[in-house]
Amino acid sequence: MRATEKAGPLAGALSTLDRRSRFELIGEIPLDFPTHHPQGMAFAKGLTFLSSVEILEAPYPAADPALRTPGRGSGHVFVLGEGGELIRDIPVGEGAVYHPGGIDFDGEHIWVSVAEYRAASGSIVYTIDPDTFEVRERFRVDDHIGWILRDPGLDLVFGGSWGSRQLFTWDTEGRLVDQWENPGHFVDYQDAQLLGPGLLLCSGISLLPQANGTALELGGLALVEPLRQSIRLDVPISVFSGAGHVITRNPVTITADESGLLLHAAPDDGDDPGGTRILSYRII
């Protein structure tokens, strides 16, 4: 589960993805501890960092997600060894701000956003030192930020709102540089990683109602260029875990080895059949 260098070749290989791309399961690592509801995943220093929300009292739903009750919960960033063993459980958030989102490693720190579990609310942006596990608050945002990452080449921070309907750019002190409406409507981005300066890989899910009253989980990957306010590529994903969740439901990280692209995902919750597993797929 070691990450390769994020660079141009990875972005170039991803640009060839289309609806005919196949995903071959080549490995799975079961996580033998309470994982709750995983959200984001990043690899750093030979370790896997997995953010997750533990729901103690679910928010009361509302047609407008901004009007949900706050609920209660705890935010976690789990630090895992190569075999999936739990090395550290890092608490993040405070009070009603308990829902971590998608995370990424910028070469120095893991960036983590923790939000209230409702739209148009509030968030705290943290960094975690992958060597010492020290947590540092960076800035606060008056909105639900569902994922966060820093682009060290541009020294900018990118993130997305509830469902990534709004996309943001900040400087590293939290000053807003840009905000724009997401022109894509196929999936709501849940996790993101930096591929190169100004280029993001975003992954996510939509729940599409079916005629029989059930919902289909449609997954997707997108190459997003925040400085251009554009989506370079949108690809639907219809590969499912053993528990029936589309593999881009929450944590996703792409790496590469000598054989090509690998997608790593943890789509299942701790209380799903079989629990949470980190699944690795070769993209063909």
Residue 208 Cα distances to 83, 182, 185, 244, 248, angstroms: 35, 19, 12, 15, 15
Residue partners of 5: CB distance under 8 A and separation at least 6 = none
Instruction: Give the helix/strand (H/E) hosting 101.
Output: strand 97-105
Q: What is the pLDDT along the chain (284 residues), one digit of tens a residue?
A: 333 334 467 888 898 999 999 999 999 999 999 999 999 999 999 999 999 999 999 999 999 999 999 999 999 999 999 999 999 999 999 999 999 999 999 999 999 999 999 999 999 999 999 999 999 999 999 999 999 999 999 999 999 999 999 999 999 999 999 999 999 999 999 999 999 999 999 999 999 999 999 999 999 999 999 999 999 999 999 999 999 999 999 999 999 988 899 999 999 999 999 999 999 999 99
Q: What is the torsional sign of CA 248, 251, 255, 259?
A: negative
pLDDT value for 60: 96
pLDDT value for 181: 98
pLDDT value for 76: 98
Query: Which is nearest to 203 in space by CA: 179, 226, 182, 223?
Result: 223
Residue 135 identity (one-letter amino acid)? V
**What is the rounded distance in angstroms from the CA atom of residue 147 to the CA atom of residue 101?**
5
Coil, strand or helix: which one is 74?
strand
Structure tokens at 173: 């002190």
pLDDT value for 8: 63
Query: Which is nearest to 189 in space by CA: 131, 104, 125?
Result: 104
DSSP secondary structure code for residue 59 in this structure: P
Question: What is the number of other CB atoms lying within 10 angstroms of the CB of residue 96?
Answer: 18
